[in-house]
A and B are shown apart, each in its own frame.
Chain A
Amino acid sequence: MNAFVEQAVQALAAGLLAGCLYGLTCVGLALIFGIMRVINFAQGDFMMVGMYLATGLAAVLARLALPDAATPFVAALLVAPVLFTAGALLHRLLIARTTGLRGGTAAHQAQLVLTLGIALVLQNGALIVMGSAPVSIVSPLSSSAWEIPLRYDAFSTLFLNQGRTIGAVLAVLVALAVFWLIGRTELGKSLRAAADDPEAATYVGIDVARAHRIAFAAGTAIAGVAGGLMVLAYPVQPFVGTDFVIIMYAGVVLGGIGSVSGAFWGGMTIGLVQQLSTLVLPLQLQNAAVFAVFVLILLFRPQGFFGLNVERA
């Protein structure tokens, strides 16, 4: 019994930690897909790029006088400006050409093909440049834990992986910053307005093309930061994005399309279900459990947790 409680607490902690990172990846996609309605197949690959960048930056930072423990996280955060710029350029040069047809299936088909193309270019580009062998940031943090004794007996202990815990805290902080930006600042409001109704947004003086570009770039940057935080625990190889892109879409849909904070909770739900399911189900069914719960939730709440209404979803 005690062993079960210990496992339950451990699974809960693991779920929360994984959920924070999933949540952040979902927030990134929510900006692009949820808000701007761009179907982006390359989102997982933006994350892959972020993972490589963070690994490289960490190696560079390690030569500077930075404290060892800080390098992986500083590297992850430094990914943001790089990928923001890249995302903005990508949008200006390519994606904007498809959002012009906005709304119709024609636009979505064009985006599908375009972003699939971008995904392939990124994957194979990474394969050529980085090779197929996985790389990772090697840090003692990823194999050290804070051990928190569980008070109900003498030996049960909660292990909180230090790397993951710091990563999760940073993920939450970044997500909070995004919520604040989207929810409270004028820029964020204008992004939402442009997403709600681009024509009406034009009438109030919003440069809709610019708004879309910023949202896309921000979504790209967030994917990169999430990747940077992830790479401490999860080695990167050119095709790693495909492991995550399904989780991202599932999280965004769970949270309610169009809701950025909802996307975070969607990702969190996936993390929790993934880990807590191991208490009652065989490990092999971990991912199956995620999708069973996904289908169940959408059965009872088709608009997701925070979706306004069904049409918008």
Chain B
Amino acid sequence: MSYTRRQLGRLAGAAGLAALPLRQGRAETKEVVFGLIMPLTGAWAKSGELARLGAEMAVDDINAAGGIAALGGARVRLAVGDCGASPETSKNAAQRLLAEEPALVGGVGAYVSSFTLAVTEVTERAGVPWFTLSYADAITNRGFHYVYQTSPTAEAQAAAALPTILDLARSSTGRTPTRLGIVMDNTASPVNFTRGLRAGGAAKLGMTIVVDETFAPPLSDAGPVMQRVRAARPDLLLLLPTSVPDIKLTLEKMNEIGLGKGRLPAVNNGGPMGSPDLLRVVGKDMLEGVMFITATWGMTGMETLIAAFKKRTGQPWITQDSISTYAHIQILREAVEKAGSTERDRVNAAIKAMDDPALAQKYFPGGSIKFDERGRREGAALVIAQWQNGEPVTIFPRDRALATPIWPKH
């Protein structure tokens, strides 16, 4: 209590000095500004929009619960920037947000790794603590001090993915798949994801790569690719196209040649595979049984959050995008509470000092809200979700799963 009062006094003074006399700088009404930069137009707009929904909900929840207690119930406001569809526009968006919001305390964004790299160039220079769900290792390889990744990095994901899937297979069927198939496009994400597998990673896990097909998107017909898969008879398929049309074509072809609906377990990588839009494009039947790896998804312990989110937004389920930004805003709130200040460096120091497994449990599959010196979250783990009856549900880790996996018992 005394802490708060001291805080209040100091803030009241600061506000009175800094500004202006329009009304008495009363600490209780002081505003805390968090930023969000997401692709709200262009090809990634849907994910950006979902991310925005998560952040907005977090802000409303915080304010409904009385704002930032340490700042006398200061209210949180979300300042939104659209980073468009390129790293250049992302950088501009970051510069604009910083110019328009001098009081910015921290922020989240910008979904696509290359956008995040551009945005954080700007925010790092301004010393704004910044959270992202982007995977790229480069984001936290630059010696930056204000950037935090809550997802496992791409390399970490690649290394953890196959063992995680095999774990799941074993726990579902009692048997371990041995014949691995890979179908992917030649974009950066699947290329990085599979590199280690070919360089001995698969073999080390007792798997033989029986079919390995890489195509240049877009596919005009998935026939030739999937025919080869059919001929090679893998018992686990990494199905890694990144664009929706290619996802649709490959899944439809799988179905057409009798490998669909989970008959050949197929795993994709990345949250977009669980987008509600996919249902409209690909259809429920095609998606049935398809699994994907993601940094977080709706899990046990998140029931209230999920229900509130669905009610509030009308979305059919919550995705990684919304959960992550919701979490990021909550972590920022926690840091501001701890710092008792909106000063960026104090907030940043508070983030670095955090170690809160309970908070992590609320939004992520594992670890703690604790960041290493590079800004990577410790214990960040993977979730596997599976399309079941028109909805992607978490099936791994088992203790957080909302459904049991469908896995063919060959």
Contacts and interface: CB of A to CB of B under 8 A. Distances in A.
Query: Within 8 Å by CB, do A and B touch in the complex?
Result: yes
Interface of A: 3, 6-7, 10-11, 13-14, 17-18, 127, 131-136, 138, 140, 142-145, 159, 161, 164, 233-235, 237, 239-240, 243, 271, 274-275, 278-279, 282-288
Contacts of A17: 221
A135 B280 contact: yes
A235 B285 contact: no
A138 B281 contact: yes
Contacts, number: 117
A144 B261 CA distance: 13
B114 interface: no
Given A138-B283, A235-B281, A237-B43, A159 B228 contact: no
Interface residues of B, number: 39
Given A138-B283, A143-B286, A131 B221 contact: no
Interface string B215-233: 1101011011101100100
The 3 closest A-B pairs by CB, nearest first: A143-B252, A138-B283, A283-B215
Contacts of A288: 216
Interface of B: 41-46, 186, 213-216, 218, 220-221, 223-225, 227-228, 231, 244-245, 248-249, 251-253, 255-257, 260, 275, 277, 280-283, 285-286
Given A161-B256, A284-B215, A132 B45 contact: yes
Contacts of A283: 213-216, 224-225
Contact of A132 (B42, B214, B260): B42
B225 A133 contact: no
A7 B228 contact: yes
27 contacts: A7-B231, A10-B223, A14-B223, A131-B46, A132-B41, A132-B44, A132-B46, A133-B45, A134-B277, A136-B248, A136-B280, A143-B253, A143-B255, A143-B260, A143-B283, A159-B223, A233-B248, A234-B218, A234-B220, A234-B248, A235-B244, A235-B281, A237-B244, A243-B218, A275-B223, A275-B224, A283-B213
Contacts of B286: 143
A131 B223 contact: no
B301 to A, nearest CB: 30
A19 B15 CA distance: 70
A282 to B, nearest CB: 7
B184 to A, nearest CB: 10
Contact of B221 (A7, A14, A127, A239): A14
Contact of A271 (B220, B245, B251, B256): B220
Contacts of A133: 45-46, 244, 275, 277, 280-281
B88 to A, nearest CB: 18
Contacts of A271: 220
A274 B220 contact: yes
A135 B281 contact: yes
A164 B222 CA distance: 12
A98 B260 CA distance: 52
B215, B220, B248, B255: most-surrounded residue (chain A CB, <10 A): B220
A6 B226 CA distance: 12
Contacts of A6: 227, 231
B281 A132 contact: no
A271 B219 CA distance: 11
Contact of A235 (B46, B186, B225, B248): B248
B39 to A, nearest CB: 9
Contact of B220 (A10, A18, A136): A18
A48 to B, nearest CB: 13
A166 B236 CA distance: 32
A2 B275 CA distance: 40
A213 to B, nearest CB: 32
Contacts of B277: 133-135
A136 B256 CA distance: 18
